[in-house]
Amino acid sequence: MRVSVALCTHQGERWIEQQLRSILAQTVPVAEIVVGDDASADRTLEIVRAVADGTDVPIRIRHHEVALGVAGNFADAIAATSSDVVALSDQDDVWHPDRLERLLPHLEGVALVHSDARLVDADGAPLGSTLADSLEMTAWERAAMADGRAVQALLRRNLITGATVLVRRDAAVAALPIPAGWIHDEWLAMCAALGDGVRFVPEQTIDYRQHGGNQIGVRRLGVADKLRRVLEADSGKHARKAQRAASLAAEAARRGLASGAQLEALVEKARHERDRAALPRPRLLRVPRVLRGVLSGRYGRYSRGAIDVARDLLEQHGD
């Protein structure tokens, strides 16, 4: 299968050359690289052009003078690819030389594969952890993401990081446009899970750089950090989750992505997030509503169980 790379950049001069070199050094050569640049004002494009001049692999630049945002930029780059498979790429990571060689066989029978990643610091030094470890993927989640039950896991929370993704182009293009409020990797993952499926490969295939300036990044939380997150003010996140869940159910029905029991689950997920967003400000008044959600099993099916129960009972709500 031919592989195109959708690589999105913004002010990426520090790392973009290393990333491009790692892509060009793959043991399975890529057919093309589509660089979607979101209004970079540094040397990013100058560096990309210099690398392009030294390779036979076509590197096509789509420069957006007005930034499209992360999701819009990736959507545009994906649509501009021409191969059987699209590999998503951030500007600041480094691919392991055999990334494609290891992941392509796992696309057999599914629309999307994703892998683990080694976490490194700004200078590329290992941080002693992996992406899956930082996400604290449970044994159940790992199994569900590997054996065809990805929808069940993804309705609870997103577990797929775009920088580790390979997706069949026809599936990726069919998932466009990306609805408002959704990030590209979450949306592509959910559409793939509802369709031909998703597969998790528990191997580290990239160095996933964490440097404090990531538009999307991860870090493993300590006990104090987790408690702080439970107690922090809502700040509108429940309303955003409710809007996203509602748009997922609506778009899945409109596009024919889900029907029957799957569609019912999406509608129930939307109802669950809407109920969470409508919890009253006084903590004591939340108890019966949260308890109904627990007894119905919704917190187990559509949230992270006890963690989100505690959050809904204890977090601060604004006026």
Determine the average pLDDT of the residues in 113-140.
Answer: 95
The rounded distance, in Å, linking the Cα atoms of 259 and 194 is 10
- The percent of residues above 90 in pLDDT, for the chain, comes to 89
pTM of structure: 0.91
Question: Residue range 288-304: average pLDDT?
Answer: 97
What is the pLDDT averaged over residues 50-79? 98
Compute the average pLDDT of residues 70-83: 98
**Whether the bond into 177 is cis, omega within 30 of 0:** yes
Averaged pLDDT for residues 67-81: 98
- Closest-CA residue to 17 (of 4, 38, 42, 39): 42
* Strands 85-89 vs 166-168: parallel, antiparallel or unpaired: antiparallel
| pLDDT at 227 > cutoff 70 | no
- Where does residue 297 fall: left (phi above 0), alpha (psi -120 to 50 degrees), or beta otherwise? left
Could you give the domains of the chain? Answer: 3-209 (3.90.550.10), 223-314 (no CATH)
The reported pLDDT for the residue numbered 316 is 84
Which tens digit of pLDDT belongs to each residue from 9-48?
999 999 999 999 999 999 999 999 999 999 999 999 999 9
pLDDT in tens, 95-106: 999 999 999 999
